[in-house]
Amino acid sequence: MAASAAEMGSKKAYWAGHIGRWQRSGLSQGAYCREHGLSQSSLGYWRKRLGATNDREAASFVTIVPVPLLASAQPDMANAPEPLLVHVGNAFRIEIRGDFVGPVLEKLVRTLTRL
């Protein structure tokens, strides 16, 4: 037998109330249901069913705020200085852009000279 519109409205209100109290409680869904003698699957069903309505209501509270962006820490490559070119014998050429770590470059050059 199908539920009347009034019955359906009261069910929605009943479950919407429990969903709101559960969300404010800080309890897990299972703990809230055990504490209030509710079926966890029913609470989950109504949460999903009413979620579409709640999402639309929540959207009315959304405010878009402009956020100032900080200048990029990476230099603009168009204005970057020419790369440093290091030739290791006739076989390898290392191109270094921007900052580099000296000991790492030294280790790389030593490794390449052994090849």
User: pLDDT band for position 111 (50/70/90)?
Assistant: confident
Residue 43, token pair as written in the block: 């609470």
Query: Distance of alpha carbon 97 from its chain centroid, rounded?
Result: 32
The DSSP symbol for 115 reads -
C-alpha distances out from residue 53 to 1, 50, 59, 99, 107, Å: 25, 5, 10, 53, 62
- The C-alpha atoms of residue 68 and residue 81 are separated, in whole angstroms, by 28
Task: Say yes or no: 54 and 89 in one domain.
Answer: no
Task: Say yes or no: 10 and 52 in one domain.
Answer: yes
Is residue 89 domain-resident? yes
Q: Which domain holds residue 96?
A: 84-114
Is residue 70 domain-resident? no
pLDDT tens-digit readout, 49-88: 887 555 555 555 667 778 787 766 665 666 767 888 888 8
Judging by beta carbons within 10 Å of its beta carbon (0-12, 13-18, 19+), is residue 77 exposed, middle or buried? exposed
Is residue 99 domain-resident? yes
Q: What is the mean pLDDT of the chain?
A: 80
The total number of structural domains that make up the chain: 2
Sign of CA dihedral 6, 8, 12, 14: positive
Task: Say yes or no: 13 and 51 in one domain.
Answer: yes
